[in-house]
Amino acid sequence: MLVNKVEICGVNTSKLPVLSSNQMKELFQQMHNGDKQAREKLINGNLRLVLSVIQRFSNRGEYVDDLFQVGCIGLMKAIDNFDLNQNVKFSTYAVPMIIGEIRRYLRDNNPIRVSRSLRDIAYKALQVRDSLVNKYSREPSITEIAKELGIPREEIVYALDAIQDPISLFEPIYHDGGDPIFVMDQISDEKNQDESWLEGIAIREALQKLSDREKYILSLRFFEGKTQMEVAEEIGISQAQVSRLEKAALKHMRKHI
């Protein structure tokens, strides 16, 4: 998707300006001195940064215009909070903030509802995560985030899991020019393995070898979950007879499986 060569929100993206590092410093200094036009120039001069970020979310089915506007909010927050005294490139500081703003937008518009308290914990954890990344220049562990927030580690994990975007089982994860491989192709199902399928066939065939009374007893015992006493009362024989018939039927079935 060549979003840098199209009109987005009325902006001709092919004509967006690019600022040098010296220009950026000068504009930040002017902005901090109260120059509002300098802030506008910083926003316009970094819109390409927003474009590069929203391409990561191009497969979410969201309108590019909406993502661009949300990304611009993240950009403006980054500009307003950027500290020139920190030895960090503006793009390094801004990209996580733009991504965070877009992710919040996507989570808030998620059809799966997550409780407000869980979302709050997750958002705080993400903010602390961004802060620790800037501080240590590495990805922090969940334990470090939990310690910073004073919240149990398990609660942080649960909150972050709760806000994850759902993935369709038909989401393609690999394509080599032939048939694509989907998420569902990578998920095993123990209830649907060939071995279980063959066992089911063998059991059905073995059941056909039993008498109607034996099949009825096994059906009541193992498919309806009734006790031997309940079976005895239902078919009008003693519990001891039910036990003998059941054992004989199972022994007979084993010969055919």
CATH topology of domain 1-109: Four Helix Bundle (Hemerythrin (Met), subunit A) (1.20.120)
Q: What is the pLDDT of residue 211?
A: 86
Please tell me the distance from the alpha carbon of residue 67 to that of residue 98, in angstroms, as a whole number: 10
65: CB partners within 8 A, 6+ apart: 8, 9
Which two tokens mark 68?
């661009």
Rounded to whole angstroms, the Cα distance separating 242 from 220 reads 11
CB hemisphere CA count around 85 (13 angstroms): 2
**Is 89 strand, coil or helix?**
coil
Return all residues near 174 (Cβ < 8 A) that are at least 6 apart.
Answer: 180, 181
| Average pLDDT along the chain, 257 residues, taken 10 residues at a time | 50 74 89 89 90 79 82 91 83 87 78 68 87 85 90 85 62 55 54 54 76 86 82 86 86 76
Cα(182)–Cα(179) distance, integer angstroms: 9
In the chain, CATH 1.10.10.10 sits at: 110-187, 190-256
- Give residue 248's pLDDT: 86
| Calpha distance 76→69 (Å, rounded) | 11
DSSP line for 154-183? HHHHHHHHHTSPP--TT-EEE-SSSSPEEG
Please tell me the CATH code under which domain 110-187 is placed.
Answer: 1.10.10.10
Helices of type H across the chain = 21-32, 36-45, 47-54, 64-81, 90-108, 116-136, 142-149, 153-162, 194-207, 212-218, 228-235, 239-256
CB 172 within 8 A of CB 181: yes
Measured CA to CA, the distance from residue 231 to residue 209 in angstroms comes to 21
Using CA atoms, how far residue 241 sits from 144, 222, 233, 247, in Å, is 65, 17, 11, 10
Total residue length of the chain: 257
Residue 127: closest CA among 147, 108, 149, 143: 149
Four-way CATH pick for 190-256: 1.20.1730.10, 1.10.10.10, 2.30.40.10, 3.60.15.10? 1.10.10.10
In whole angstroms, give the CA distance from residue 95 to residue 248. Answer: 72
User: How many degrees, rounded to 5, is the angle at CA 74 between CA 86 and CA 59?
Assistant: 125
- For CATH 1.20.120.1810, list the domain ranges present in the chain: 1-109
pTM for the full predicted model: 0.43
C-alpha 30/C-alpha 24 separation (Å) is: 10
